[in-house]
Amino acid sequence: MKEDFLKMITEHQNILHKVCHLYTNTSEDREDLFQEILIQLWKSIHRFKEKSKLSTWMYKVALHTAFTHLKRSKKHNNHQDGIKESIDYQHLPDRYDEGDYSKLEKAISQLNQVDKAITLLYLEKHSYQEISNLMGISETNVGVKISRIKTKLKTIMQAQYG
Protein backbone atom coordinates (compact mmCIF):
# COMPACT_ATOMS: atom_id res chain seq x y z
CA MET A 1 0.00 0.00 0.00
CA LYS A 2 2.72 2.45 1.01
CA GLU A 3 4.77 1.61 -2.08
CA ASP A 4 1.76 2.28 -4.34
CA PHE A 5 1.14 5.53 -2.51
CA LEU A 6 4.75 6.67 -2.92
CA LYS A 7 4.65 5.77 -6.60
CA MET A 8 1.42 7.76 -7.03
CA ILE A 9 2.86 10.82 -5.27
CA THR A 10 6.10 10.63 -7.22
CA GLU A 11 4.16 10.62 -10.48
CA HIS A 12 1.70 13.36 -9.55
CA GLN A 13 3.84 15.52 -7.27
CA ASN A 14 3.56 18.50 -9.61
CA ILE A 15 0.02 19.06 -8.31
CA LEU A 16 1.37 19.44 -4.79
CA HIS A 17 4.17 21.77 -5.86
CA LYS A 18 1.76 24.01 -7.80
CA VAL A 19 -0.65 24.33 -4.88
CA CYS A 20 2.20 24.95 -2.42
CA HIS A 21 3.69 27.67 -4.62
CA LEU A 22 0.38 29.42 -4.94
CA TYR A 23 -0.53 29.37 -1.25
CA THR A 24 2.77 30.15 0.45
CA ASN A 25 5.36 32.90 0.38
CA THR A 26 8.38 31.36 2.04
CA SER A 27 10.28 28.16 1.28
CA GLU A 28 9.76 27.09 4.91
CA ASP A 29 5.98 27.47 4.64
CA ARG A 30 6.06 25.76 1.25
CA GLU A 31 7.85 22.73 2.64
CA ASP A 32 5.51 22.66 5.63
CA LEU A 33 2.42 22.76 3.41
CA PHE A 34 3.87 20.11 1.08
CA GLN A 35 4.36 17.76 4.02
CA GLU A 36 0.93 18.59 5.40
CA ILE A 37 -0.70 17.71 2.07
CA LEU A 38 1.30 14.47 1.92
CA ILE A 39 -0.07 13.47 5.32
CA GLN A 40 -3.63 14.32 4.31
CA LEU A 41 -3.27 12.29 1.12
CA TRP A 42 -1.84 9.34 3.05
CA LYS A 43 -4.69 9.53 5.56
CA SER A 44 -7.36 9.77 2.87
CA ILE A 45 -6.01 7.34 0.27
CA HIS A 46 -7.92 4.34 1.70
CA ARG A 47 -11.17 6.25 1.21
CA PHE A 48 -10.43 7.10 -2.40
CA LYS A 49 -12.83 4.92 -4.41
CA GLU A 50 -11.95 6.33 -7.83
CA LYS A 51 -15.29 8.16 -8.14
CA SER A 52 -13.31 11.02 -9.61
CA LYS A 53 -9.99 11.21 -11.44
CA LEU A 54 -6.92 10.72 -9.24
CA SER A 55 -5.61 14.17 -10.16
CA THR A 56 -8.96 15.80 -9.27
CA TRP A 57 -8.98 14.05 -5.90
CA MET A 58 -5.39 15.14 -5.26
CA TYR A 59 -6.26 18.74 -6.13
CA LYS A 60 -9.21 18.55 -3.74
CA VAL A 61 -7.09 17.27 -0.85
CA ALA A 62 -4.27 19.72 -1.61
CA LEU A 63 -6.55 22.76 -1.90
CA HIS A 64 -8.55 21.87 1.19
CA THR A 65 -5.30 21.50 3.14
CA ALA A 66 -3.96 24.78 1.76
CA PHE A 67 -7.17 26.61 2.80
CA THR A 68 -6.92 25.42 6.41
CA HIS A 69 -3.12 25.58 6.50
CA LEU A 70 -3.25 29.35 6.01
CA LYS A 71 -4.63 29.95 9.46
CA ARG A 72 -1.57 28.36 11.03
CA SER A 73 0.92 30.29 8.93
CA LYS A 74 -1.05 33.54 8.92
CA LYS A 75 1.37 35.16 11.32
CA HIS A 76 4.18 34.51 8.84
CA ASN A 77 2.63 36.37 5.93
CA ASN A 78 0.39 39.29 5.15
CA HIS A 79 -2.81 37.57 4.07
CA GLN A 80 -5.83 39.56 5.17
CA ASP A 81 -9.12 38.17 3.96
CA GLY A 82 -7.25 36.77 1.00
CA ILE A 83 -5.93 40.16 -0.08
CA LYS A 84 -2.39 41.20 0.69
CA GLU A 85 -1.57 44.83 1.23
CA SER A 86 1.96 44.19 0.06
CA ILE A 87 3.90 41.10 -0.94
CA ASP A 88 6.85 39.96 1.10
CA TYR A 89 9.20 39.88 -1.89
CA GLN A 90 12.26 39.47 0.35
CA HIS A 91 11.13 35.97 1.21
CA LEU A 92 10.53 34.91 -2.36
CA PRO A 93 13.29 32.80 -3.88
CA ASP A 94 15.69 34.61 -6.24
CA ARG A 95 14.33 32.92 -9.35
CA TYR A 96 11.02 34.79 -8.86
CA ASP A 97 12.58 38.22 -9.00
CA GLU A 98 12.25 38.55 -12.75
CA GLY A 99 10.21 37.26 -15.63
CA ASP A 100 6.68 37.00 -16.85
CA TYR A 101 5.87 34.05 -14.65
CA SER A 102 6.99 36.00 -11.62
CA LYS A 103 4.58 38.79 -12.52
CA LEU A 104 1.76 36.33 -13.05
CA GLU A 105 2.47 34.57 -9.76
CA LYS A 106 2.62 37.84 -7.86
CA ALA A 107 -0.69 38.91 -9.39
CA ILE A 108 -2.34 35.59 -8.51
CA SER A 109 -1.01 35.83 -4.97
CA GLN A 110 -3.18 38.92 -4.50
CA LEU A 111 -6.38 37.02 -5.20
CA ASN A 112 -8.43 35.52 -2.36
CA GLN A 113 -8.06 31.82 -1.50
CA VAL A 114 -10.99 30.56 -3.56
CA ASP A 115 -10.08 32.66 -6.59
CA LYS A 116 -6.50 31.35 -6.40
CA ALA A 117 -7.81 27.78 -6.46
CA ILE A 118 -10.11 28.48 -9.42
CA THR A 119 -7.27 30.22 -11.30
CA LEU A 120 -4.97 27.25 -10.71
CA LEU A 121 -7.59 24.75 -11.89
CA TYR A 122 -8.42 26.91 -14.91
CA LEU A 123 -4.77 27.32 -15.91
CA GLU A 124 -4.34 23.57 -15.46
CA LYS A 125 -7.05 23.18 -18.11
CA HIS A 126 -9.80 21.73 -15.92
CA SER A 127 -13.27 22.13 -17.40
CA TYR A 128 -15.92 24.33 -15.75
CA GLN A 129 -17.74 21.15 -14.78
CA GLU A 130 -14.65 19.69 -13.07
CA ILE A 131 -14.02 22.95 -11.21
CA SER A 132 -17.67 23.06 -10.21
CA ASN A 133 -17.61 19.46 -8.88
CA LEU A 134 -14.35 19.99 -7.03
CA MET A 135 -15.15 23.33 -5.42
CA GLY A 136 -18.87 22.75 -4.86
CA ILE A 137 -20.15 25.81 -6.74
CA SER A 138 -22.36 25.88 -9.85
CA GLU A 139 -20.85 25.92 -13.35
CA THR A 140 -22.44 29.33 -13.93
CA ASN A 141 -20.76 30.64 -10.81
CA VAL A 142 -17.44 29.19 -12.02
CA GLY A 143 -17.87 31.11 -15.27
CA VAL A 144 -18.70 34.34 -13.45
CA LYS A 145 -15.74 33.92 -11.11
CA ILE A 146 -13.29 33.21 -13.95
CA SER A 147 -14.51 36.29 -15.77
CA ARG A 148 -13.99 38.40 -12.60
CA ILE A 149 -10.56 36.84 -12.01
CA LYS A 150 -9.45 37.73 -15.55
CA THR A 151 -10.44 41.35 -14.95
CA LYS A 152 -8.73 41.39 -11.54
CA LEU A 153 -5.48 39.90 -12.89
CA LYS A 154 -5.49 42.33 -15.79
CA THR A 155 -6.01 45.28 -13.43
CA ILE A 156 -3.31 44.11 -11.02
CA MET A 157 -0.76 43.44 -13.77
CA GLN A 158 -1.48 46.74 -15.51
CA ALA A 159 -1.22 48.65 -12.24
CA GLN A 160 2.08 47.02 -11.29
CA TYR A 161 3.81 46.55 -14.61
CA GLY A 162 2.05 48.89 -17.00
Partner 1 sequence: MDELQNIWDAHQDKVGKEQHLDEFEIKQQLKVKSNDALRRINSVMRLDVIIMVIVTGLFIMVTFILNLESRYTISMILFEMMIVLGAHYWMKHYLINKYDLDNDNIAEIITKKLKYLKWNKHIYIYGIPVFFFGLYLYFQNVWAQVIPNVTVWNMYIIGVLLTIFVYIFSKRLHNFLYGKELKVLEDIIDQLDQ
Check binding of 137 to partner 1 (CB under 8 A): yes
Query: Who's near 13: CB < 8 A, 6+ residues apart?
Result: none
Check binding of 44 to partner 1 (CB under 8 A): yes
Check binding of 57 to partner 1 (CB under 8 A): yes
Check binding of 150 to partner 1 (CB under 8 A): yes
Check binding of 38 to partner 1 (CB under 8 A): yes
Taking the complex as a whole, how short is the minimal distance between the CB of residue 99 and partner 1, in angstroms?
8
Q: How far apart are CA 20 and CA 29, in angstroms?
A: 8
Angle between helices 54-73 and 128-135 (to 10 degrees): 50
Among 114, 128, 139, 152, binds partner 1 (CB under 8 A): 114
Is 133 exposed, middle or buried (CB count within 10 Å of its CB: 0-12, 13-18, 19+)? middle
Between CA 58 and CA 13, with CA 25 as vertex, the angle to 5 degrees is: 25
Among 61, 77, 110, 126, binds partner 1 (CB under 8 A): 61
Check binding of 97 to partner 1 (CB under 8 A): no
Q: How far apart are CA 109 and CA 102, in angstroms?
A: 10
Phi/psi at 18 (nearest 5 deg)? -65, -45
Q: List residues binding partner 1 (CB under 8 A).
A: 6-7, 9-10, 13-14, 17-18, 21, 34-36, 38-40, 42-44, 47-49, 51-52, 57, 60-61, 63-64, 67-68, 70-71, 74, 81-82, 100-101, 104, 112-115, 117, 123, 133-137, 145, 150, 153
